Amino acid sequence: MSNEILNSLLKEYEQKKLRAELDLEKRKEELYQSIPQLQKIEDELNQFAILTTKNILLYNNSSLEDLNQKVENLKREKANLLQKAKLPCNYLVPNYECSICKDTGYLSNNHYKTEMCNCLKQKLLDTSFHKSNMTNLEKENFNTFNENLFSDEIDLAKYHFNISPRKNITNIKQKCLEFVEDFDNPNRKNLLFTGNTGLR
Ligand SMILES: [Zn+2]
């Protein structure tokens, strides 16, 4: 099930990333019409980015310094223009829901390995929790458990058990409590609930 959940979450991430980027394109288009100078700066910055990569590959450090200076000047000019238009300085960056992974759900760590971003981990937990029928814990928990709902009469013919349903459910509750209390013990065996289809 967790693979299924992850795949559908990743599809959601793809969609929201795309939405944020399309939204930025729309904002840019509108803004460039009113402030054409901004488009000029953006085009120059793009060209400089290509030149910077080329210079890095050619180990051309003196040109790199010159380029960095020009880039800084252009960025300053861009920030000034945005300020004059009373727009926030991040107006020309996509509004990702998670600025850390830019809505990709993944990050590369210091060892160049890809790892899941906390936002995706949290979403996975939330979705798994929701699907586990455990969202009603405030009402349904050990404290509100009522063994009196179970008969205290032994009915061998019906249950093939020589203890009453109440005694049986109290034993089960006790086993569950022990399981919870010992949850961090790696040697503790799992609990398995079985029954006819539809029971839970
Ligand atoms: Zn994230």
Residue 114 resides in a domain: no
Residue 78 resides in a domain: yes
Q: Are residue 6 and residue 73 in the same domain, yes or no?
A: yes
Q: Are residue 12 and residue 92 in the same domain, yes or no?
A: yes
Distance 78 CA to ligand 1 centre (A): 28
Q: Are residue 70 and residue 21 in the same domain, yes or no?
A: yes
Domain span at 20: 2-96
Q: Are residue 92 and residue 154 in the same domain, yes or no?
A: no
Q: Are residue 88 and residue 142 in the same domain, yes or no?
A: no
Among 96, 113, 144, the domain-final residue is: 96
Per-residue pLDDT of the chain (200 residues; tens, 9 = 90+): 578 889 999 999 999 999 999 999 999 999 999 999 999 999 999 998 888 888 888 887 777 888 889 999 999 999 999 999 999 988 999 999 999 999 999 998 878 889 999 999 999 988 888 877 776 777 888 899 999 999 999 999 888 889 999 999 999 999 999 999 998 888 888 888 887 776 65
Residue 175 resides in a domain: yes
- pLDDT for 198: 67
> Residues near 156 by Cβ (< 8 Å), separated by ≥ 6?
162
Four-CA torsion 5, 7, 8, 14, nearest 10 degrees:
140
Residue 127 resides in a domain: no
Among 46, 64, 96, the domain-final residue is: 96
How many domains would you assign to the chain? 2
> Residues near 118 by Cβ (< 8 Å), separated by ≥ 6?
100
> Residues near 22 by Cβ (< 8 Å), separated by ≥ 6?
none
pLDDT in tens, 42-67: 999 999 888 888 888 888 777 788 88
Q: How far is CA 144 from the centre of its chain?
A: 33
Distance 108 CA to ligand 1 centre (A): 12
Separation of first and last alpha carbons in the chain: 18
Burial class (CB in 10 A: 0-12, 13-18, 19+), 120: buried
Distance 118 CA to ligand 1 centre (A): 6
Residue 107 resides in a domain: no
Distance 41 CA to ligand 1 centre (A): 30
Distance 45 CA to ligand 1 centre (A): 27
- To the nearest 10 degrees (0 to 180), the angle between helices 61-84 and 36-57 is 160
CB of 22 within 8 A of CB of 103? no
The position carrying tokens 């210079």 is: 55
Distance 116 CA to ligand 1 centre (A): 8
Distance 44 CA to ligand 1 centre (A): 30
Residue 10 resides in a domain: yes
Tokens of 193: 């609930």
**What per-residue string of b and e applies to 156-184 under the rule 16 or more CB within 10 Å gives b?**
eeeeeeeebbbeebbeeeeeeeeeeeeee
Tokens of 68: 């960095």
Residue 29 resides in a domain: yes
Q: Are residue 89 and residue 143 in the same domain, yes or no?
A: no
Distance 47 CA to ligand 1 centre (A): 30
Q: Are residue 11 and residue 68 in the same domain, yes or no?
A: yes
Q: Are residue 26 and residue 83 in the same domain, yes or no?
A: yes
Residue 177 resides in a domain: yes
Q: Are residue 85 and residue 158 in the same domain, yes or no?
A: no
Q: Are residue 81 and residue 165 in the same domain, yes or no?
A: no
Four-CA torsion 160, 191, 133, 10, nearest 10 degrees:
-140
Q: Are residue 8 and residue 87 in the same domain, yes or no?
A: yes
CB of 7 within 8 A of CB of 57? no
Among 45, 79, 96, the domain-final residue is: 96
